[in-house]
Amino acid sequence: MKRSLFLALLPIIGLGLYAAKVKSMSEADLVQANLPKIEKPKKKHQILCFSKPYGFRHNSIEIGETMLRVMGEETGLFEVTFSNDLVHFEPENITKFDAICFNNNTHIQKGMKDEALRESLISYVKKGGGIFAIHSATDGGWPEYVDMIGGNFQSHPWGAGGTWDIANEDSKHPIVKDVHGGKGFQLKDELYVYKDFDRADQRVLMALDMNSEVNGKRKGPRDDKDYALAWVKKYGKGRVFVSAFGHNKEVFYNPEILKMWVEGFRYVLGEIDVETNSIPKPAFNLPK
């Protein structure tokens, strides 16, 4: 092979070798490789991961649990109790945890029917507990749960097979300032549209970029075209982080999403304080 041709092919060869390496790595290895470095936590927190769906079951539940295990081990931020037993939501048990991760547990209202358990969860958050909600944790719930989360699944016109333009609406916010350098980006995932959502009730961090040509080819149901995808809020004394991302497995080891999720956990665990007051929808993300 002539030297000039070999040099020209080097980038292609390199990409091929990288792709082969990635393909051979386990999901845990991919999460570990793509996690950001963080400063030493104030303490090792305790979190509960609840993954039981009472409706559609996402095949990304297992990678969600892997992500949490590896994140906790690598960052030293938390230890995880993995359980789908509702006994952990009883008043004498729930306070053992600094935060709860709802991992794609569709229609939790169909499982948590006991009013005492519902009241225990809501009270826990209002008194200072943390909530980290992934994807279909926002699909369903009773009125107080939906109020706590900040929205309720309505539809997903922007489906799992498409690659969509995401707007970083709050590029200086600590949770998302390092995601793609604070700029917008593309992501292949199923993106939820929410009902019972009001921007005034939370700090929106990311949303669908409705100036995007590819996004605009799909029509969503909201007249205001406000399609938020990640936000933070206070609920009483509690802290809530919500991510619409998390349908596709690859999202759970995407390095840019992991940057946001690590900081989201740091927020709900009280490691960092961030602004949660609502901000107006930025002009660059307004519909044309």
pLDDT, tens digit, for every residue of 7-34? 555 455 444 443 445 566 999 999 999 9
CB 139 within 8 Å of CB 55 = yes
Q: For the segment 114-132, what is each residue's pLDDT rounded down to a tens digit?
A: 999 999 999 999 999 999 9
pLDDT at residue number 15? 42
Q: For the segment 159-197, what is each residue's pLDDT rounded down to a tens digit?
A: 667 788 999 999 999 999 999 999 989 999 989 888 899
User: At a CB cut-off of 8 Å and minimum separation 6, what does 8 contact?
Assistant: none
Give domain 35-285's CATH number out of 3.30.565.10, 1.10.340.30, 3.40.50.880, 3.30.830.10: 3.40.50.880
Given CA atoms 125, 237, 194, 230 in this order, what sign does their dihedral have?
negative
Nearest to 286 by CA among 184, 210, 197: 210
Q: Length of the chain, please?
A: 288
Percentage of the chain exceeding pLDDT 90 = 72
* C-alpha to C-alpha distance for 69 and 142, rounded to whole angstroms: 29
CB 11 within 8 Å of CB 237 = no
Is residue 137 pLDDT above 60, yes or no? yes
Across all residues in the chain, what is the average pLDDT? 88
* C-alpha to C-alpha distance for 52 and 61, rounded to whole angstroms: 9
Please, which pLDDT band fits residue 57 given cuts at 50, 70 and 90? confident
pLDDT at residue number 9? 53
* C-alpha to C-alpha distance for 133 and 244, rounded to whole angstroms: 8
Residues 262, 109, 208, CA angle at the centre, nearest 5°?
45
pLDDT at residue number 256? 96
Residues 258, 262, 266, CA angle at the centre, nearest 5°?
165
Is residue 40 pLDDT above 70, yes or no? yes
Is residue 6 pLDDT above 70, yes or no? no
Is residue 215 pLDDT above 50, yes or no? yes
CB 179 within 8 Å of CB 185 = yes
Label residue 241 left, alpha or beta by phi (over 0 means left) and psi (-120 to 50 means alpha): beta
Is residue 69 pLDDT above 60, yes or no? yes
Q: Where are the domains of the chain?
A: 1-25, 35-285
Strand, coil or helix: what is 51? coil
pLDDT at residue number 19? 45
Please, which pLDDT band fits residue 222 given cuts at 50, 70 and 90? low
Range name among 205-209, 224-228, 261-265, 274-278 with the lowest pLDDT average: 224-228
